[in-house]
Structure 1
Amino acid sequence: MIDAAIDRFCRAIDLLIAGALAVMVVLVFGNVVLRYAFNSGIAVSEEVSRWLFVWLCFLGAVSALKEGGHLGTDMLVSRLPVGGKKACMLLGHLLMLYVTWLFLEGSWQQARINLDMEAPVTGASMAIFYGSGVVFSVCAGLLLLLQLVRLLTGRIGENELVMVKESEEQAELESLQAELASADAQQDPARVQSASGTARDARS
């Protein structure tokens, strides 16, 4: 039930991201057309687009956290036994929760400081700008806590213990290296030469 609620929440975030991106396109493209064709423009275009871009990035980071889409490497963790993977995941989540707390504290302070500050064009409170960090920190912290609870209660599968995945190019390179090792073990010179050449091409 909780997983279904998280999925619906992340889909709502994806819709918000799509909406923000659409508004940005309209504002920026419309402003360009107005300036070149009619010597006019949308006064709030630059400021609103900049704010939407910041919110888009932070909301996208929440969605990526849920999907495990952030940059990382599994070169070491993927080779550990299950116990080692769980220990690394536990340590990683504790560190991420600490960093998220620091980010929340800083964003909240900035939002409070700028609550009465008005944006130069729209006149809106600058707290809206810094509020993106608060929203991200709260959502990311909740996701991390839920994942940590699943880990500690044993409700997480082994395939989920590796939080990030290598790029497709790295996976292809490892596959070619495995093929090379297999061909070498079978003493097949033709396969060794072919796999070696393909692996060199993948590295380049």
Structure 2
Amino acid sequence: MPSTAHEESPEPPADDAQSAEALLARVADGDKGAFTGVYEALARPVMGLACRILHDPAQAEEVTQEVMVEVWRTARRYRPERGSAKGWVLTLAHRRAVDRVRYAQAATQRERRADAVLAGREHDEVAEAVEDDDERRRAQECMARLARMYRVPLVLAYYQGLTYVEVAAALSTPAGTVKSRMRTGLRLLRDCLEAR
């Protein structure tokens, strides 16, 4: 009784190009046994090529498995007039391994760019925080040097959020006087900050 194309028939390893091509033609028809023969004949050369490109046996093994699955799925695309079965499979392997190298390089470059951006931001944030702290400290020192009649209205206005009319009411001082003292206090504060 003749076997159908889809039955599994054990095949010896394909030792020469002719048998690999014949097996690949049968794989295109869905013959799992023929695929076993193709795998046994070509997985080792695929692994060797992938290792040479990737310099990592674990990744080379992954590429080999991916390529052999691709061979099973796309065996119909093989054209014997364009080259040997082994050449076709090794071309698939080469492309897959090179793609993996390019992907790894692109990922590394993306990580480096992200690290550089983050480092720049961290540097900027640290610099800004230091600068803000320094300015705050200087402002507090200058504020402490102001005479009480200038300092208190400014503290009430800028730290407590009162208007100059509210400051005048809180200090029981005429609004015009408070406004004048606040202007003088701000000028003295500016002079102090510029001198530092």
Larger Rg: 2
Give the TM-score, by structure 1 length: 0.23
